[in-house]
Amino acid sequence: MYSKIANTLIVIERGLLTTYSLDDRESWTVGRASGTNQPDIALNTPTVSRHHGQFRKMNGIWFYLDHNGKNGTVYNSRHLEPGIKGREKPVILSEGDILIFGGGKEAVVHRKTVWSMFVTRVFDGGFKRLDTGSFSSIEIRDGEDVTRYTDPDKGTAVIKKNGVAIYMGGYAYISGDLRMTGQ
């Protein structure tokens, strides 16, 4: 069961999951930290630009603004392109939107990209990491509601009434009252 409504960014970088409660401020910068650059969401992957992008709340709605870095951002399987004359084009964020930072134009999750998801609910108990080894199929169960995937892609996320499951290949993260099994 979820405990409250909260705009949250889930970030998985090099196997580690971090959550950011976006409602704590109006704007969050995203990028690779350096001596002179300390972004709010500091990522350590070299394919992420120092000034990669920004999450911003405008009139109560959350947006992502990509700063058109060299290796780009993929938003829900679509590469974000610059606007007219290279301007930033904000994208409105909704429950379950996935952003992949630093992967070029492809929506591929690997050790040189950073996976993230925008959610509007926080689930009780935080996230647990599961070893999924060499599963070729997974089953996510929320009470009687069952979702099955055969050969799921890394970065497959499922949001159910009572939790979130994120499959990342050899491991997965799960929150709330969901159960994940595999073969």
Instruction: With a cut of 50, list the residues of the chain below it in pLDDT.
Output: none
| Mean pLDDT, all residues of the chain | 91
**Residue-level pLDDT at 6:** 85
User: Is the Cβ–Cβ distance between 78 and 105 less than 8 Å?
Assistant: no
**Residue-level pLDDT at 82:** 82
- The per-residue DSSP string of 135-168 comes to -SEEEEEETTEEEEEESPPTTEEEEETTEEEEE-
**Residue-level pLDDT at 81:** 87
Entry pTM: 0.93
What does the block give as tokens for 127? 């996230």
CA 39 from chain centre, in angstroms, equals 17
182 closest CA partner among 121, 143, 130, 145:
130
Domain map (residue ranges) of the chain: 1-123, 125-183
Q: Could you give the dihedral angle defined by the CA atoms of residues 25, 118, 65 and 43, in that order, rounded to the nearest 10 degrees?
A: 80
Right CATH for 1-123 from 2.60.200.20, 3.30.450.20, 2.40.10.10, 2.60.40.650: 2.60.200.20
User: Is the Cβ–Cβ distance between 167 and 154 less than 8 Å?
Assistant: yes
Q: Tell me the pLDDT tens digit for each residue of 38-63.
A: 999 999 999 999 999 999 999 999 99
**Residue-level pLDDT at 3:** 55
